[in-house]
Amino acid sequence: MAVITQVNPASGRYSRTRFLWAAAGFLLAILLLGLAPQRAAAAPYAAMVIDSRTGEVLHSRNADTRLHPASLTKMMTLYIAFEAVRNGEITLDTKVKISRNAAAEPPSKLGLKSGQRIAFRYLIRAAAVKSANDAATAIGETLSGSEAAFARRMNRTAKALGMSRTTFKNAHGLTASGHLSTARDMTTLGRHLLYDYPEYYNLFSRRSTHAGIREVPNTNRRLLANYRGADGIKTGYTRAAGFNLVASAKRGNERIIATVFGGKSTTSRNAKVAELLDLGFRRAPSRAKLRRPARPAYQGAGVIVADAGDSSSEEAAGKTIRVSGQVNTSLRPKSRPGSSGQPVLVAALEEALQTPPAEAAAEPELQAEQIENVQAVSAEGALQGDALRNSIAVALAEAEAEPEPAPAAVAATVRPAVQKASANTLRPVARPASLALAEASPEPEPVVVTRLSTSGGRYWGVNVGLYTSRYQAEKVLLRTALSELETLDGSLRKVAKTRRGFEANFLGMTQEHAERACRRLNARNMACKPIGPS
């Protein structure tokens, strides 16, 4: 090493000042060289922007490069949790016991303790809003028995969603060998969360939420607060991944989803995402036909995977066996001895068949509408027994709604549809002796049936609120029916006008059915109260 010195002409002594400065400069150079490799190893950048309505790509950069997703992984964990609730694997109120493994996960975490029991809904909230690693692991262990088994389910679901370049190794997203995804795949997953489970999507826009043991803030609250229209979805950070974010924003009829991998900081990442969202809104058409992504096949409890080969490979070979409890054939019970095996039609049907054809034109507009309703029912399959009675009930109920129709008009309404259904699907019906005697009488007294009940004791219902307009009430009924298919499927949606406004009701339920539906809706913070026969 050459040392720079200077001779003092007066004294002949070496000057130490220049030597010290030279040594300091050399040490500084070594430090700068040591930092250079760290800068070069910064997380790679990738981005993707789509129009969520159509899935059209508006911008992409390195979108298919496999990178570390960090906590964006929890989007898949939550997707499977929503799927499990919808398919009856678990309920939101199920108490989950926290394992030692889940409790030991590093931050970010909710602070769960080993052996603690907590409702499944709070694990979902903590994973979605707080990005809690302990909650994510608990979700996976609860649904699949172990973190490894849940990772296999995550990979099956990713494949079904079309995420072809994604491999999951855990439920939380902490860096693991082979745990990789792409900006394109994570954008695809964000779009599926939005359209496949809209009833849960509001979780991602909450600035904070209560997670059972404490209130937790949203890791994405800065973007939610500062970007107009932003309503989700998920952040992620590890040293290997950098600062990641899948964001969604809606303005008017337009909705954009933007994904960023490899941000340098929260601030710079949010600024880049805002820039990409702006780009998306500029490029997206103001109007576009909604093309929802196809929901994938259920990958839950009904799927058994027999692994073959090394399970650590990115795509382990295996055989998938789908187990279905669906009944392929339905055996018709034999008729009782002495019975013709055919349904006996009620007096209204007999009266309708005896009505002269000339009377059928009494009210042509009413007739056409009611016949269409009856035919819509009969077109789905063979009208037999109860199905035929339901068709008659529909026609009679609609005729009842008109201002005091004459008995002949009601009969004329039912007659053509019944004749068509009888000709296509029913064999001749044996008439009871009482009807034969009634026909033999010179002037039979007309019998008009105003309502046929097929409720089977379903006189209860639920009320989900009072609204200022019929449109609002109908909108809430539809949204509620979609969010609670398990208990509300098959019930009748009806808006009742009162002096105070428009009541939104679901009718045609048993008392137990109505009370269970309200419990589930109340658990989702939705207004609901059972209403009885009175």
Catalytic residues: 71, 74, 131
Question: Both tokens of residue 460?
Answer: 């209860």
- Could you count the other beta carbons within 10 Å of the beta carbon of residue 403? 4
Residue where the block lists tokens 């909650």: 135
C-alpha angle 213-215-218 in degrees, rounded to nearest 5: 130
Cβ atoms of 374 and 394 closer than 8 Å:
yes
| DSSP, residue by residue, 173-211 | ----TT-BB-HHHHHHHHHHHHHH-TTTGGGGG-SEEE-
Which DSSP letter does residue 14 get?
B
Residue length of the chain: 534
Cβ atoms of 228 and 248 closer than 8 Å:
no
Cβ atoms of 489 and 529 closer than 8 Å:
no
Outline where DSSP puts E strands in 211-360.
Answer: 215-217, 230-238, 242-251, 254-263, 303-307, 318-322
Cα–Cα distance, 93 to 122 (Å, whole number): 9
Residue where the block lists tokens 């009675």: 389
C-alpha angle 217-132-93 in degrees, rounded to nearest 5: 90
Question: Both tokens of residue 329?
Answer: 């054939």
Q: Which amino acid is at 49?
A: V
- Show Cβ contacts of residue 34 under 8 Å, excluding neighbours closer than 6 positions: none
| DSSP, residue by residue, 88-154 | TS--TT-EEEPPHHHHTPPSS-----TT-EEEHHHHHHIIIII--HHHHHHHHHHHHSSHHHHHHHH
Question: Both tokens of residue 360?
Answer: 């059928």
Question: Both tokens of residue 488?
Answer: 């509300």
Q: How far is C-alpha 341 from the geometric centre of its chain's CA atoms?
A: 44
Nearest to 121 by CA among 218, 203, 217: 203
Question: Both tokens of residue 110?
Answer: 């909710």
